[in-house]
Copies of this chain bind each other. A is one copy, B any other.
Amino acid sequence: MAKGKARDRQATEARLLKAVETVLTQEGFSGLGVNAVAREAGIDKVLIYRYFNGMPGLLRAFAYSDAFWPTVEEVLGEGSSDLSKMPVADRWSAGLVRYARALRRRPIVGEILAWEQVEKNELTEILRLRREEWFAALRERLPRDDDPTDAVTVSTVLVIGTAIHYLIARSRLHGDFNGLAIESDADWAHIEQIIHTMCSRTLQPRGEA
């Protein structure tokens, strides 16, 4: 039984894609390469070159698989809790919290965020472009306030977004950041609370010059 795999290219490609995910979550991107992926999948590495034209091709296929990133709907929330009906501060507050939760649900996301932060090569650019496509699609679906305060609102939200990315990436390896716990769900509930406070106080329209 051992020698001579059932000749099934589709299954082989699927196993390779799965192996990318496994290697990425278990060993991190520093261990991601043709050797490790092939070893994990139990498939000769030469097939990665034949079927995907090398590691970049395989990673591109991975980036467009559904393991890679949450859907826009998952963040926006469908039906009842539609974000676009909320006032601006609540909208962004709830949106950011959902974003954090959606990212946190996928173990692989932390790895990808960290990687993009740390290396810039053919592989990371593939994932980054895919992620930016996603973000553009998200913005398409959000109402745009065309008053001049919109720009500063977006900037503020982006800054909080970077904090989320940082904390999610960090939580893979560390239990806290200078005392701010980022391990358990309770820790994250606390962080969500802070995000909410920052959003509502910063974005809330107030009587001001």
Contacts and interface: CB of A to CB of B under 8 A. Distances in A.
Interface stretch (A15-23, A40-48, A113-121): A113-121
A179 B135 CA distance: 10
Interface string A145-173: 00000001011101111110111011001
Copies of this protein in the complex: 2
B162 A177 contact: yes
Interface residues of A, number: 40
Interface string A92-107: 0000000000000000
A152 to B, nearest CB: 7
Contacts of A160: 159, 163
Interface of A: 28, 30, 114-115, 117-120, 128, 132, 135, 152, 154-156, 158-163, 165-167, 169-170, 173-174, 177-180, 190-191, 194-195, 197-198, 201-202
Top 9 A-B residue pairs of the complex, sorted by shortest distance between their CB atoms: A166-B166, A163-B163, A162-B166, A120-B173, A158-B180, A162-B163, A114-B118, A201-B202, A201-B201
